[in-house]
Amino acid sequence: MTNYEFVDSLPDLVQPEEYADHPTGGLVRLRISVENGEISILGDALRPELIEQLLEALGPDAIQQMLCG
């Protein structure tokens, strides 16, 4: 089971000016990086459930998530 860790901030991969170009909310962006042998996947989406499903399918121990208001 994946644990969610709430954090104060994460980099934005989707910018507000892009919202109008994706009225159905289907925009998802990923950034995959490798540093010191560790793989990090940063994701951002207009619809949070899309990115959550994708990241959970990868089977990580934890997913860091930022609460948006």
- Checking if the pLDDT of 67 tops 90, the result is no
21-53: pLDDT as tens digits: 999 999 999 999 999 999 999 999 999 899 999
> What's the rounded Cα separation, in Å, for the pair 68 and 48?
10
Q: With contact defined as beta carbons under 8 Å apart, do 2 and 64 qualify? A: no
Q: Where are the alpha helices (DSSP H) in the chain?
A: 48-57
- Checking if the pLDDT of 1 tops 90, the result is no
pLDDT recorded at residue 68: 74
